[in-house]
Structures are given as C-alpha cells and as structure tokens.
Amino acid sequence: MKGLLILMSLFFLPHARAQTDVTQIQQEINTSVWKPFQEAFETLDAKALNELYANQVLRVTPNGIDTENSFKAANVKRFNSFLEEGTSIFLDFWFDSRHTNETTSYEVGFYRIRAAKDNSTTNSYGQFHIVLKRIKGQWKITQDWDTTTIKGSPISAEDFAKRQPMAF
C-alpha cells in the first residue's frame, strides 16, 4: 500500500506543478497583456495598445488578412476618431479556453465593445482567437483573429452572457 501511494505521488505531483505553472503564466499574461489591453482600449490609447503586439503579427478579420501590421495604423485612426467624436469605449471579455506553456499561449474568448456617445450606447460582440509568444522575456500578441459570427449567425448579447467578464 505504501508503495502504491509513493507511485501515485510520483505520477500526480508533476501534473499538479505543471498546472500551477500554467496558472501562474496565465496570471502573468493577464497582468502584462490583458489588463493593459483593456486599459489602452478604454482610454483610446492606440500607442499603448499597439505596443502589446509583436513586430510581426498575423491579423485576421472578416475583412481579410493583414501581415503588414496595417491594423496598427488603423487602431490610431479609429481611436482618434472616437476621441474627436466624444465616444467612450468600454471593453469586456472572457476566455472560453486557454492553452499555455512557457513560451506560447493560445487563447479563445468572447468580447463586448460598448460605444457610448450622447446618451446612447451601442454594443458589438465577437469571438477572438489570440496567440501570444514570450519574446525577449515579454508576452506579445503574435496572431489576432476575430469574428462577429459563428456558423453564419451574429454573436449576440446572449452568447456573451454565458460567462462573466474578466475582472482585473
């Protein structure tokens, strides 16, 4: 019996440690990427947002594939437009799945963007697939894909309401 307990300990301890390591890495990603991402989005700070991305990024949207980082200039233009119009932006999101190791994390989730202007609010919903890589000790977004539909149907408030948004 004692031998069985030792054998089971040897099997389960590395798995428990690996899970702890993954949890710690994901917390590091939350602190170094997702919290600043949300803050940059909500303060309309395109420079801070763009700094969270790697130098080489694959960005995919319903409008096509961007391998030239033109989305970064579009972020600046879009955020400046919101500032000029007096639009406030609020970003909420949650993760459906996260697969993480020491150097890479693949993260899938849902987002809601609320745009508020002149006492009216518009909500937009979508799903994202993000790949992060640890580059020179820092986590950076290297792939960013999102969509506003699943199986041809628009992502809705009901889809987003399936989980609570992240809180930092």
What CATH number has the domain spanning 2-160?
3.10.450.50
CB 108 within 8 A of CB 94: no
Give the β-pairing of 149-150 and 153-154: antiparallel
pLDDT higher than 80, residue 17: no
| DSSP letters for 62-82 | TTEEESS-HHHHHHHHHHHHH
Rounded Cα distance between 80 and 123, Å, is 19
The pLDDT value given to residue 4: 45
Return the H-helix or E-strand segment holding 109: strand 104-117
* pLDDT at position 98: 98
pLDDT of residue 44: 98
Q: What is the pLDDT of residues 48-102, one digit of tens each?
A: 999 999 999 999 988 899 999 999 999 999 999 999 999 999 999 999 999 999 9
From the CB of residue 148, how many other CB atoms can be counted at a distance below 10 Å?
A: 15
Is this model's pTM higher than 0.75 or not?
yes
Cα separation, 48 vs 159, whole angstroms = 29
Return the domain boundaries, the chain: 2-160
**pLDDT confidence tier of residue 5, bands split at 50, 70 and 90:** very low
pLDDT digits (tens, 9 = 90+) for 108-160: 999 999 999 999 999 999 999 999 999 999 999 999 999 999 999 999 999 99
